[in-house]
Amino acid sequence: MDYHHFKISKVNLLFLLLKLTVFLGVIFIFAKLRYEAQQLALMPNQLLDLVFISCCLALGWMYRVNLDDVDLSANDQKIKIKVEYNLYGFVFVRLLSNKGKMASVRLWNPTNYKYALAEGLTAECVFKSDSQLPKGGCRLINS
Note whether 38 and 48 are within 8 A (CB): yes
Mean pLDDT for all residues in the chain: 87
8-state DSSP, 126: E
Hey, where are the domains in the chain? 10-63
Percent of the chain with pLDDT over 70: 97
CB atoms within 10 A of CB 99: 10
Comparison of pLDDT for 51 and 111, the residue scoring more: 51
Q: Is the pLDDT of residue 51 over 90?
A: yes
The pTM of this model reads 0.81
